[in-house]
Amino acid sequence: MTSIMRSCCTGFSRLLFQSVPNLSMRNKSTLAKMPGGLLRFYTNSPAEKNENSSDFFSRNFQPVSPALGAEVKGVDLSKPLDEKTQELIQKGLDEFSALLFRGQNLDGKQMVKVCGFLGPIAKEQHYVDQGLTLEGCPECFVLRNDKENPPLFDFWHCDKSAWKYPIRYNVLSCREIPDIGGDTLISNTRKVFDHMSEGMKKIFREMKGVYNEKNGFEDKADGQGSETNKKIVEYLKNKGFAPKGIYDKFEDQVHPIVRKNPRNNLEALYFSPPYFSFMEDFSREESMHFQKFLLDAIVKPEFVYRHHWKKGDLLIMDNSCTSHYAASDFYPEIREMHRIIITEIPS
C-alpha cells in the first residue's frame, strides 16, 4: 500500500474514492499551465509507485470552465472533514477561486460547521433585524426571490467590500431553483489583472478605493440613484424598514485595488462598483473613468464562468479574487439560496 493509500485510510478517503472519467486533453493542458497549482502539489507527492499523480488529481478536481472554478468529487460535507481534506479544499480555492460541491443539501448550521476551518463566520446584524436570516442560525442569510420578492442583486459586485475587513469567502447553498434561469456569473479578477499591460498593473497597484455600504442602497436626494438602488429602497420600505436608518451608520472604508493572496502571492483586482465612492487622492469625476475601465474589464466573457445551479449545489467563492452577478432572468419564479460569509482575520 502506497503512502497515498495510507493517508486515505486516516480519513482522507472521503474525498477521493469516486471514480469519474478522466479530464479531456484540453482540461489537462489547462491544469498544467496553472501557476504553482494543485497539479504541482500532487506531483511533488513522494508516493507515485502505483498511480500517476496527475490522474490522482484529475479524478477529484474537474475544472468547470477555462475562466475559473472546479467541481470537487467524492466529498460529503454533512460529515466532519479531516485535516487532509481541509488542506485540499483550501489549496483548491487558492488555485481555482471557486469550488463546486454537488448534491449536498446542507442546512445553515451544517454550512457554518463544515466551513469553519476557512475562517470566522460573520453575522450580518442588519439582515437579522430584517428577518432575513435562517431561524436558529443568524449567520445564514436567506436569499429568496418570488413574485412578492423580486431579485435585487443583479449587478457585478464583491460581497461586503465596504466592510472594514473584507470577507474572504462566500458560501452559497442552492435550496430551490427554476428549471430555466437564475444563474450566477463569476468573473476571475486574477485573470483580469494578469491580462493588463505592465503599465496599468503598476498604476492600479498604487491605487486604493473608498467604499461605503450605503452607496448600494440609498435613494439619492438628487434622484440619480441607480435602478438597483431604487428597487432595494422600495423593497425595504415595503418590509417596514427605513433604508436611511439602516445604512447611515456605515462609514467609509479604504481598500487596495490590487490584493495579493497570502498563500501563493498571486495578485487580483478587488473592485465592487455598487459600493464604490471614489479612488483615494482622485476626484469623483476622475474616479468614474477608472470605474468604467475596471468594470468593462471584469465583464469580458473570457474571464467569466456562468454557473447553472442545481438543487443541492454548494459553491464556495473566493471573494478576494472574483466578482459575481446574480441573473434576474427567472423572475417571478422561485429561487432560494442560503449564504454564509467567511471574514478575513485582521493581521
Q: Which residue pairs from 16-23 have beta carbons closer than 8 angstroms and sit at least 24 positions apart in sequence?
A: 16/56, 16/59, 16/60, 16/74, 17/74, 18/59, 18/60, 18/73, 18/74, 19/59, 20/59, 20/60, 20/62, 20/73, 22/55, 22/58, 22/59, 23/58, 23/62, 23/63
Is the pLDDT reported for residue 201 higher than 90?
yes
Q: Are 144 and 338 in contact (CB under 8 A)?
A: no
Q: How many CA atoms lie within 13 A of 76 on its CB side?
A: 8
**Confidence at 264, pLDDT banded by 50, 70, 90:** very high
What is the share, in percent, of the chain residues with pLDDT greater than 90? 60
Q: So what's the pLDDT on residue 122?
A: 93
Q: What is the pLDDT of residue 226?
A: 57
Q: Which tens digit of pLDDT belongs to each residue from 290-300?
A: 999 999 999 99
- What are the pLDDT digits (tens) for 202-239? 999 999 999 998 887 665 544 444 555 666 666 666 65
pLDDT (mean) for 320-329: 96
Q: What is the mean pLDDT of the chain?
A: 81
Q: Which three cell numbers stand for residue 251?
A: 462609514
Q: Is the pLDDT of residue 270 over 90?
A: yes
Are the C-beta atoms of 27 and 265 separated by less than 8 Å?
no
How far apart are alpha carbons 128 and 239 in whole angstroms? 13
Joined together, the cell numbers standing for residue 222 give 438628487
For residue 215 the three cell numbers come to 452607496
Q: Which domains does the chain have, with CATH numbers?
A: 1-69 (no CATH), 97-212+251-347 (3.60.130.10)
Furthest-apart CA atoms within the chain: distance in Å? 72
Please state the φ and ψ torsions of residue 331, each to the nearest 5 degrees.
-55, 135
313 grid coordinates: 449545489
The per-residue pLDDT for 84 is: 87
> Which among 127-136, 186-195, 229-238, 269-278 has the top mean pLDDT?
186-195
Question: Which range has the worst mean pLDDT, 4-13, 109-118, 153-162?
Answer: 4-13
Kindly report, residue by residue over 26-62, the tens digit of the pLDDT.
Answer: 444 444 444 334 443 333 332 333 344 345 456 788 9
Give the residue-averaged pLDDT of 259-272: 95
Provide CB contacts within 8 A for 127, sequence distance 6+. 133, 141
In the chain, % of residues over pLDDT 70: 73
Extract the C-alpha cell encoding 49. 509507485
Which positions ≥6 away from 259 have C-beta within 8 Å? 267, 268, 269, 270, 320, 321
In 3D, which of 156, 187, 134 has the Cα closest to residue 336? 134
Task: Give pLDDT, residue 245.
Answer: 63
Would you state the pLDDT for residue 271? 95
Asked if 111 and 338 count as a contact pair (C-beta separation under 8 A), the reply is yes
